Chain A
Amino acid sequence: GDSVTQMEGPVTLSEEAFLTINCTYTATGYPSLFWYVQYPGEGLQLLLKATKADDKGSNKGFEATYRKETTSFHLEKGSVQVSDSAVYFCALKYTGTASKLTFGTGTRLQVTL
């Protein structure tokens, strides 16, 4: 079946450091890929998405490129802030069938001053 694998957390970085959170997927078809962020005590917020191979999603300084050859969708940010501290979830979904998102286990990011 379909699955998403994320790097184990927590990831601890100093402010202004470069961030990479790895995400790889296994899928039988050609899904859309997403990154969601969850702040403490809140629901999930869509951070960015990519719907086909080589698409780059970007938002708020975060970027991820849909790499079909390596089945990856790694999240990057050039300079993190304390306010970026949260849990980040990678997810996949097939277009046009169901709203079902298949999530990774989440990666907690902690940014310190």
Chain B
Amino acid sequence: KAGVTQTPRYLIKTRGQQVTLSCSPISGHRSVSWYQQTPGQGLQFLFEYFSETQRNKGNFPGRFSGRQFSNSRSEMNVSTLELGDSALYLCASSLELAGNEQFFGPGTRLTVL
């Protein structure tokens, strides 16, 4: 069974640009959560999607958004990039909403110059 996949693995952007990251959950998993990992702030929850609806949201500005498709694949978008958005963005999937067993992908390393 394939694990959680994230594309691209690495991304370099400049300030002011926007970026879209993609996450494909484990087959059959319906919930997708996103996390930002930085050396300064650690791992922080961004949002969770289930059945194509955002169900929970962390404390991030509106520049961070996401969506989920009918096949459970999810994308997150960051607009008007800032230097502080440089981070590893991790996606996690679980069978159901609020599932205890969450499986993480390898992450997308975003660098903002």
Contacts and interface: CB of A to CB of B under 8 A. Distances in A.
Interface of A: 32, 36, 41-46, 49, 51, 89, 93, 95-106
A95 B100 contact: yes
A96 to B, nearest CB: 6
Interface string B42-58: 11010010000001101
Contact of A99 (B42, B56, B107): B56
B21 interface: no
Contacts of B102: 46, 99, 101
Contacts of A49: 100
B55 A98 contact: yes
Given A43-B4, A43-B104, A96-B98, 12 more contacts: A43-B90, A43-B107, A44-B90, A44-B92, A95-B98, A98-B48, A98-B56, A99-B31, A99-B33, A101-B43, A103-B42, A106-B42
Nearest to A105: B42
A51 B27 CA distance: 25
A32 B100 contact: yes
B9 to A, nearest CB: 9
Interface SS, A side: loop
B97 to A, nearest CB: 7
Contacts of A51: 100
Contact of A103 (B43, B98, B100): B43
Contacts of A100: 33, 45, 48, 56, 58
Contacts of A97: 56, 98
Q: Among B4, B43, B103, B107, find the residue whose CB has the most chain A CB atoms closer than 10 A.
A: B43
B100 A89 contact: no
Q: Among B31, B94, B97, B98, find the residue whose CB has the most chain A CB atoms closer than 10 A.
A: B98
